[in-house]
Amino acid sequence: MDKDNISAQDSYFTFLMKPLNLGFTQLKNRIIMGSMHTGLEECWNGFHKLARFYEERAKGGVALIITGGFSPTFSGRLSLFSSQLSNFLQLAKHRKLVKAVHVYDTKICLQILHAGRYAYHPFAVSASAIKSPISPFAPKALTAKQIKKLINAYAHTAGLAKRAGYDGVEVMGSEGYLINQFICSNTNQRQDEWGGSFENRIRLSLEIIREIRRTVGENFIIIYRLSMLDLHKDGSSWSEIEQHAKAIEKAGATIINTGIGWHEVRIPTIATVVPDAAFTWVTKKLKQAVTIPLITSNRINSPEVAESCLQNGDADLVSMARPFLADSQFVLKAMQNQSHLINKCIACNQGCLDRVFKGQRATCLVNPRAAYEDEYPLVKSAQVKTIIIVGLGVAGLSCAYYAALRGHHVIAYDAGNLGGQFNLAGEIPGKEVYLDTVRYFEAQLSLLKVEVHRNYKIGIEELRDIYADAIVLATGVKPRKLDIQGFDHFSVMDYETAIKNKSTIKNKVAIIGAGGIGFDVAEMLITQNENNNDWYQKWSIDRSYKSRGGVLQDEVNLTGKDDTNSEHENARTVYLLQRKNEKLGKNLARTTGWIRRLSLRKAGVNMMSDISYEKIDDFGLHILHQGKKVTLAVDHVIVCAGQQSENSLYQQLGAIGQPVHIIGGAKKAAELDAETAIREGMVLAYDF
């Protein structure tokens, strides 16, 4: 069968590709690109770039796109300069965006989001004047008059969206934003008609839906994103969730979307450690209560998982956000039965959420073209060149892929197998998905007929005799050695050796170095055959939903802090050590670092700072801890104290007269960053 001509009817994923009739309109399949903020919404000329971003996903076959959040009022902005839609003068740029999407029979909805007490500015408002633990600004309590104006503001924004050509709106009622703050008793302590009883606390959401429906008429999609699992002890009970969903349907919503957790609660919901489709069970639980379509979401990153969710009756539609950053052609590849060619989201948050929280444009670690489609269009190079790439870690793989995609003749060598440091990362529990990135590049290089030489250590003599327009060195890194007495002791190993031989590691271990790799190795040592049920228990998630908020009441941590004491016994004694006198993991990523620190504390890992290393001998590791001598009686000392560039060929190649480029860890080992390495590979390929 010709895969290029496969239609939706020929796809293996029959449930995913089935259209959904909404009465007044139809979605061409069951896949939704969920809301995510890119930062382009606020950039100069950003809507032009945003249109290209959405256009590529629409061309890739997604049925419905939901934009990043736009506030209906100034006070509702996430930050002072965040997106807002409240003026007809703003419609022209929105129309360009909508037009770009509609060319491909894809629907698009504008998300309306009011930050409430999550606003990062002094004009924040909420149900009550209760400060959020994740914002420095205390909100003012909205008056009854202001609430009525706010309801009208939501409807006004929805009306503007309709004038701009949007097919609908999504009302953000979950994740702890304003509407959610009205619903839950811990953030709504009002005594008027907007507080007190549950009926009063859900009144705002219902009035917003009713007023939007009155404004836009019947033939317009209204999605309500309902917090189905608050994940904190004062959250809604299951009976209240059902009551709210039924009322939302009656108020005029077309579809209900699944929202999971509040941003301030320290339970992971979208990071790599979260199992695939970890929360679809809660959507399925609601299906019996309402008749309108339900969307399920969170950690669904492959067509196989998405198809299974629909086959199991978990939902009517599947929402994926970051997977469309990773691969704009996700739906088309699934339709053509080419899921092995999908660049799978690894849920690292590094290129997307971490960048957005720094005020930067979002992109994707595994797909650096994401949100940069305008700067890096998919066009062939004017001149075909021969490019030699030495080293096929992720930097080299990226360069080889993009160079071949642009039509160049690429010859690539690696002294081992493909993947480099990603192969090690894939051995860490919860990071197995990293190996899918390697498999993706491998499949693409095969498809693009790149000449790949594995287990081939090419030297200067051979390179001197090969013609090339350019040579790229992407030879990566090697573990750094330390100048400690006894470093050659049999108990000492570097992180690479430890990961490759993890089954041989005994029960008492000291890890030198508390950067990302040190945390990875510690996680590897304390996680033993953990299954999904263990994961729910570990993070206090009550799948029986007997408790409010869906959490085990005696264990939940709502403080937003990760300084809890050890909660569980572990078979191993693990010490994680660093020289600096500061919190371990201080420089880990903002959106995932707390998960990693809290995971180790829950497992009883001893995290120690302000360390000086004296010697290693048969008695163990001798240290000075805060000026006091301590001997750690351990079986192994694992060194995770950084890397050194493996660039021995670079100076030699500079003398042979051919253009030589160096990227990734070979260029700079300090603070090695896969996002930077993959981006460097792409940028260099576009320079050829």
Q: 475: which 2 tokens?
A: 């030879």
**619 class by beta-carbon count within 10 Å (0-12 exposed, 13-18 middle, 19+ buried):** exposed
Report residue 55: phi and psi, to 5°. -60, -40
DSSP 212: H
Nearest to 415 by CA among 462, 347, 346: 462
Contact 265, 250 (CB under 8 A): no
Q: 24: which 2 tokens?
A: 């007044």
* Stretch (H or E) spanning 615: strand 611-617
DSSP 74: S
DSSP 251: H
How far apart CA 413 and CA 457 sit, in angstroms, is 7
What torsion do the CA atoms of 535, 234, 263, 588 make, to the nearest 10 degrees?
-50
DSSP letters for 262-306: -TTSSS-SSSTTSPTTTTHHHHHHHHTT-SS-EEE-SS--SHHHH
Nearest to 660 by CA among 476, 472, 400, 413: 472
Longest dimension (CA), the chain: 83
How far apart CA 632 and CA 619 sit, in angstroms, is 8
Report residue 647: phi and psi, to 5°. -135, 35
Q: In sequence order, what are the residues at sequence separation of 6 or more whose Cβ sits closer than 8 angstroms to the Cβ of residue 288?
A: none
How far apart CA 500 and CA 423 sit, in angstroms, is 10
Q: 393: which 2 tokens?
A: 């870690």
| HEC profile of 424-444 | HHCCCCCCCCHHHHHHHHHHH
Residue 177 bears catalytic tag = yes
Nearest to 244 by CA among 278, 209, 283, 198: 198
Q: In this structure, which amino acid lies at residue 673? A: D
DSSP 564: P
Q: Alpha helices, DSSP H only, in 103-183?
A: 144-164, 178-183
Q: Alpha helices, DSSP H only, in 406-494?
A: 421-425, 434-447, 460-464
Q: In sequence order, what are the residues at sequence separation of 6 or more whose Cβ sits closer than 8 angstroms to the Cβ of residue 341?
A: 333, 440, 443, 444, 447
Catalytic one of 154, 177, 224, 440: 177
| Number of CB atoms found within 10 A of residue 526's CB | 21
Q: Which residues have a catalytic role annotated?
A: 177
